Structure 1
Amino acid sequence: MTTSPHSEQDRLARGLAALREGRYFDAHEEWEKVWQRASGAERRCLQGLIQLAAAGVHLRKGRTGPAARLLDLAIAKLQDTPEDFLGIPAGALLTRARTLRSGLAAGTIPAESVSLFSPPLPRRTA
């Protein structure tokens, strides 16, 4: 990445905080700014996180088709991401994305009321 690590870390942290609070669009926006400057595997992982946040936006609006497609894309990009990616619990997010996608496929999750991250995501202890 080409910007200062401090500002990137701040954006990543703000994106994660927004995601935890259900502000999926805000998470998308914060991570997109970092993604634009990233390359390689890091860029791919960030794109997966952005797609996951966008899926949350669609789910809030009851748009299960677009949400399912974005979840599929996010899962594909996040499957090789380290458990803890730049301070983001990517492994936990991937597990939630897979569970949510399965529920959507089975028709067992009411999209309008879904919280992508309930129960809360684990907080970093270190």
Structure 2
Amino acid sequence: MAEEPQADPRFQKAVELFNDGEWYDAHDVFEELWHETADPHRRSLQGVLQVAVAQLHLQRDNRRGATILFGEALGRLKRPGTPDLGLDIKSLCTSVEQRLRSLQCDEDPELCTVPVLRVVD
């Protein structure tokens, strides 16, 4: 595995699955990469795959599971020194924070922006 997981063709596939709302499949591909990657990139991958799993929990009406995983993902992705993997992590965190707040206030998180992975140059 390369130093930077975004160089792996599976990474682009995982991003596409994530952005298509294919949460389960995106999680599987990100998890494959995660198992082959060392920190600090591993931490970034884990945060992103936790967002995918949180979204899967929402689809299955598991609000508690989604709340926990959104929180854990934010903790990893916002930790200083966490690589961005060529993604707009700030934008991802903003949408995750909105969904988390919505869940914590017992509101409908589907009224918030769906998390997406934007590739940055």
Shorter chain as normaliser: what TM range?
A: 0.7 to 0.9
Contact 1:54 1:67 in 2 (8 A): yes
Q: Distance in 2 between matches of 1:59 and 1:39?
A: 29
Any idea what SS the aligned residue of 2:114 has? coil
Q: Percent identity?
A: 25
- Compute the displacement of 1:19 (Å): 1.0
Contact 1:13 1:87 in 2 (8 A): no
Any idea what SS the aligned residue of 1:107 has? coil
Match of 2:51 in 1: 52
Match of 1:67 in 2: 66
CA RMSD of aligned residues (A): 2.6
Match status 1:116 vs 2:109: no
Q: Which runs of 5+ in 1 are unaligned?
A: none
Q: Which runs of 5+ in 2 are unaligned?
A: none
Gap change, CA 1:41 and 1:121, over 3 Å in 2: closer
Gap change, CA 1:123 and 1:69, over 3 Å in 2: same
Q: Distance in 2 between matches of 1:6 and 1:122?
A: 16
Q: Distance in 2 between matches of 1:5 and 1:77?
A: 17
Match status 1:32 vs 2:31: yes
User: Residues 6-31 of structure 1, C-alpha deviation per residue, up to 9 Å, x if partnerless?
Assistant: 99531111111111111011111111
Q: Distance in 1 between matches of 2:108 and 2:47?
A: 22
Length, aligned pairs only = 119
TM-score (norm 2): 0.83
Q: Distance in 1 between matches of 2:6 and 2:51?
A: 22
Any idea what SS the aligned residue of 2:24 has? helix
